[in-house]
Amino acid sequence: QKEVEQNSGPLSVPEGAIASLNCTYSDRGSQSFFWYRQYSGKSPELIMSIYSNGDKEDGRFTAQLNKASQYVSLLIRDSQPSDSATYLCAVNHREYGNKLVFGAGTILRVKS
Given the complex with other proteins, which of 42 and 111 has the nearer CB atom?
A: 42
Q: Which is nearer to other proteins, 64 or 105 (CB)?
A: 105
C-beta of 85: minimal distance to other proteins in Å? 14
Judge contact between 87 and 37, C-beta under 8 A: yes
The nearer residue to other proteins, 36 or 79, going by C-beta atoms, is 36
* Binding interface with other proteins (CB under 8 A): 4, 8, 31-32, 34, 41-46, 49, 51, 88, 90, 92, 96-105
Cα separation, 13 vs 56, in Å, equals 22
User: Smallest distance, Å, CB 44 to other proteins?
Assistant: 5
Are the C-beta atoms of residues 40 and 103 closer than 8 Å to each other? no
For other proteins, give the closer residue by CB, 2 or 111. 2
